[in-house]
Amino acid sequence: MDDPARDPERRDPDRRDLRLRDVVAALESLYPLESAADWDRVGLVTGEPDQPVRRILFALDPTLAVIDEARDWDADLLVTHHPLLLRGVHSVATTSAKGASVTALVRAGVALWVGHTNADVADPGVSTVLADALGLADQRPLSRDGTNAGRVGELASPVTLAEFADVVASALPATAGGIRVSGDPDAAVRTVAVMGGSGDDRFDDVRASGADVYVTADLRHHPVLEAREEARGGPPYLVDAGHWATESLWLESGRERLLGALGHPAAATRVETRVSAIRTEPWTFVVGANAARPAPAVPPTGGVS
């Protein structure tokens, strides 16, 4: 059956097409470009401002597979959280993945708009959605530099660290890597700090917040080891819940907020939206998880046999 929304002969004359410039203006009212970090590359990447927009696909990453999905769905606009061209490129030949991505977008007529750190610091933004998913009340910014990065909030009642890790696992989409935790499983936690995506540069803010536990992603060996040394085995405990998992929840929020900013419901405009079905988490499996056992408090002494 033909889609009446995409057939000029069957369109409702009382409904109007959106233009890309209209959608970009709405997105940037929600996630202002000036709130992005200086190093970030956000905003419109490809597209003609006057082109009509009838279908919008949301995804975390502008991978080749996601671009194919956008093309196959006849999307006019792809909205992603992560940038396609964060670092400088000197060629967009199809011999590289970046070049193939740009070429595929242009050939298919799919515009690309990126909301990265400007979506991180929005309220509601990436970390707000994560905090809401974990049931945190009395939320406040984690950062102390005025950027509104991260959130801190309270659980309804104290739980053990192990119980809280189960809450995180239940609230987030499943991943190959699961949830990594550093701390005493029986320790009580109630005040929770969160940072969607990479967050091991915020340990000073976490300590200053008084959080019992910090949920983020991409935690590296040396920063984590130093943070746990500073804590002397106590709080703040650490939960690495994965980059894709902690940020992907934002996509549905972004979709709903954009529709609101455009004056939806769809009666006024011809626009369809959806969140990509493609998981862009790069990991596929884990071997040997939980095989290690905690080191004994006192190393065994040597002996002579």
Say yes or no: 153 and 76 in one domain.
no
Does residue 207 or residue 144 have the better pLDDT?
207
Question: Is residue 177 in a domain?
Answer: yes
> Residues 91, 33: one domain?
yes
**Is 7 a residue whose pLDDT tops 70?**
no
3-class DSSP string for 70-88 = HHHCCCCEEEECCCCCCCC
* Residue 50 and residue 199 share a domain: no
| pLDDT, position 139 | 97
The enclosing domain of 74 has a CATH number of 3.40.1390.30
Name the band, by pLDDT with cuts 50, 70 and 90, for residue 93: confident
| Predicted pLDDT at 300 | 59
pLDDT in tens, 178-234: 999 999 999 999 999 999 999 999 999 999 999 999 999 999 999 999 999 999 999
- Position 44 in a domain: yes
pLDDT digits (tens, 9 = 90+) for 247-301: 999 999 999 999 999 986 544 567 999 999 999 999 999 999 888 766 665 665 6
Total structural domains within the chain: 2
- Please, which residues bridge with residue 58 across strands? 79, 275
* Token pair 């929020």: residue: 253
Is position 162 within any domain? yes
Say yes or no: 191 and 265 in one domain. Answer: no
pLDDT digits (tens, 9 = 90+) for 96-128: 999 999 999 999 999 999 999 999 999 999 999
Domain range for 82: 11-119+249-275
Distance CA 185, CA 149 (A): 28
Same domain assignment for residues 221 and 127: yes
Q: Is residue 1 part of a domain?
A: no
